[in-house]
Amino acid sequence: MKTYFRLLSFAKPIEKFAIPYVIATLFAIIFNTFLFTLLGPIMNTIFLKPCDDQITTVTKDSSWNPMNLFSQYIDQVILTHDKTYALQLICIVVIFTVLLANFFRYFSQRYMEDLRVHTLLKLRKAVFDNVMNLHVSYFNNERKGDIISKVASDVQVVQFTVTNTLQVVFKEPVQLIFYIAVLVSISFKLTIFSLLVIPVSGFIISKIVKRLKQQSTLSHESFAKMIGFLDESLSGIKIIKAFNATFRIKEKFQKENQFYSNLNRKMARRQQLASPVSQTLGVFVVVFILLYGGSMILSGNSDLKAGEFVIYLATFSQVMLPIKAITDSFSSIHSGISAGERVLDLIDTEPALVNKLDAKELSNFGTAITLENVSFNYGDKQILKNISLTIEKGKTVALVGPSGGGKSTLMDLIPRFHDPKSGLIKIDGFDYKDLTVESIRMQMGTVNQESFLFNDTIQNNIAFGKPDATIDEVIAAAKIANAHEFILNTEESYQTFVGDRGNKLSGGQKQRICIARAVLANPPIMLLDEATSALDTESEKLVQDALNNLMQNRTSIVIAHRLSTIQQADLIVVIDKGEIAESGSHQELMGKGGLYKRLIEMQTFND
């Protein structure tokens, strides 16, 4: 129930939709119920003989009952005019009632739809906003599918079931009360017996749907796994094909698909059982009413008249509709609540890294970034140990060392993607934790191995960090990044779409666009994760020149895979097993004859 109300709070301001909905629904119910009661006068007008005493004298009923009042009015009309005239009058009333009932029904559905769309809009926004605020380490492949399925599918399930139940909770009970009032006004005794069906079917159905919630949670999780797997398979399609692994991948997907389908089948069976059970019970009761009420009329020892009995049966057949709607929504709410819990779980996940309340803005980069005894863990595994390092303004610092030593992890600490486990990171003497993370990142630009591009035009990709840049600024940046020439040769020049993740461009082209993006943003500190080794010689030279242009007059921190490219660096830091093994200039380190020298020799030998 708590989850339900939390989800409902996304419908705020609910009264904007709820009040007109309630009014329209009430009128729709009133006219709808009235329509059934018109059956009585129709029956009497057509079937009773003119000499029937009911019509020769009009019995005055002082009750408020509109059904009786209308019947009396029709009797009056039959007396003063004739039956044909009365029938025509009833038909006009039927038409108007149907029109009004449908008019209000349409509006009630319209307001409910508005509420549904509004809730969905707010819920999706809340989920996506929070996902974007989460810390970088939250995201891994396993979670990606989960997040996608929560935003795409669970939110849909939630909004449907939540608003649907809301509709059912108000409309159907009120409609039920109106129908019951009509039934009671015709025969109290018969109604008491016949309505016993409600608690009985309620009990049976609650037994049937008991396990649904647990199954729904499993089903949402399984769907998330499938989405994650699909995403991974599409991203890695070339590798899958190259390794002839399509069969294995298909099998793996099919296994999850099978599990998901079986679970859904089981759930649907339960869910669908609820409705026929309540309907069958309802039919049993109708048969009972027919037998019991019918024999009372036939034996002549009942006040019940044939016309009233027909209204009674017609109305009772309608009673089953709200009951069915209530049971249906009762059996599907479990799926909605379990999807809701998953969505709320994502909304409630707190980012591990938030600005302090009194965090200051760093306006520019003045002197240096310093790391003091910094250690970092992934879970229990220590990755960096007691790193102390000063990166002075205007200098180029290169991080080198064996694979897995911790270079990328150290680089991730600089834009504060993670906080260290212990030790301090300072910029211009300010502790990172006393500054807003946005103002720290504002001073930095990144070019990394991944060369991530958005599925947009080349111009928009270059202008990503400065969306209001003019085309001339974009071109100037592209020129510095050695990208202008090849961009002009693409189909639509700067307006060419680069495809999903930039897959219409070559590796070197993607990198140069990323460099142009960093040039245009023009931050004082540049973080480079070089990947020139993946490129051919010509492309490598173009990218390397572009990087050199980018590093000019800036503070740069470079992860170098090609040691030949960083020999001019002001400081080379060798990182091995999470520690600084040695540091200094190229000459100093070569003179020491330590790990750096061995790495250089190994690379020269390989080359």
Ligand X SMILES: Nc1ncnc2c1ncn2[C@@H]1O[C@H](COP(=O)(O)OP(=O)(O)OP(=O)(O)O)[C@@H](O)[C@H]1O
Min dist CB 387 to ligand X, Å, is: 12
Q: Are 304 and 186 in contact (CB under 8 A)?
A: yes
Q: Residue 249 has which token pair?
A: 């991948």
Looking at the Cβ atoms of 85 and 139, the one nearer to ligand X is: 139
Phi-psi region of 595 (alpha: psi -120 to 50; beta: other; left: phi over 0): alpha
Cis amide linkage into residue 415, ω under 30° from 0: no
Give me the residues that bind ligand X (CB under 6 A), please. 378, 383, 403-409
Distance CA(547)–CA(509), nearest Å, equals 13
Compute the least distance from the CB of residue 564 to ligand X, in Å. 16
Report the distance separating Cα 312 and Cα 133, nearest Å.
60
| Measured torsion, CA atoms of residues 210, 211, 214, 216, in degrees rounded to the nearest 10 | -90
> How many Å is the Cα radius of gyration of the chain?
37
Of 75 and 530, CB closest to ligand X: 530
Q: Which is nearer to ligand X, 105 or 407 (CB)?
A: 407
Whether 125 contacts 102, CB under 8 Å: no
Please list, in sequence order, all residues whose beta carbon lies within 8 angstroms of the beta carbon of residue 298, skipping any fewer than 6 positions away.
none
Q: How far is CA 207 from CA 3, 302, 338, in A?
A: 22, 39, 18
Least distance in angstroms from the C-beta of 198 to ligand X = 56
Listed residue (145, 325, 167) closest to 229, CA to CA: 145
| Closer by beta carbon to ligand X, 73 or else 138 | 138
CB 513 within 8 A of CB 481: yes
Question: How many other C-beta atoms can be found within 10 angstroms of the C-beta atom of residue 521?
Answer: 19
The residue among 337 and 560 lying less far from ligand X, judged by its C-beta, is: 560
For residue 568, the cross-strand partners are none
Q: What minimum distance in Å lies between the beta carbon of 399 and ligand X?
A: 8
344 or 560: CB nearest ligand X? 560
Given the complex with ligand X, which of 346 and 575 has the nearer CB atom? Answer: 575
Q: Which is closer to ligand X, CB of 217 or CB of 408?
A: 408
Q: At what angle do helices 306-348 and 39-47 cross, to 10 degrees?
A: 160
Q: How much of the chain is helix, strand and coil, in % rounded to 5?
A: 65, 10, 20
Residues 566, 397: Cα–Cα separation, whole Å: 9
Beta strands in 439-554 (DSSP E): 444-447, 525-529
The answer to whether the beta carbons of residues 581 and 574 sit under 8 Å apart is: yes
CB of 567 to ligand X, least distance (A): 18
Question: Token pair for residue 488?
Answer: 């002009």
Looking at the Cβ atoms of 405 and 420, the one nearer to ligand X is 405
Question: For the chain, how long is the longest CA-to-CA vector?
Answer: 127
Residue 378: CB minimum distance to ligand X, A: 3
The token pair that represents 549 in the structure block: 């242009």
User: Which of these, 338, 323, 337, lies nearest to 205 by C-alpha position?
Assistant: 323
Structure tokens at 499: 């495809």
In the bound complex, what is the minimum distance in angstroms from residue 528's beta carbon to ligand X? 13
* Amino acid in the structure at residue 578: G
- Determine the distance from the C-alpha atom of residue 93 to the mean position of all C-alpha atoms in its chain, rounded to a whole number: 48
Taking the complex as a whole, the smallest distance from the CB of residue 405 to ligand X amounts, in Å, to: 4
Nearer to ligand X, 202 or 351 (CB): 351
Please report, to the nearest 10 degrees, the dihedral formed by the alpha carbons of residues 429, 433, 439, 444 taken in order: 70
Residue closer to ligand X (CB basis): 40 or 406: 406
- In the bound state with ligand X, the residue whose beta carbon lies nearer, of 287 and 352, is 352
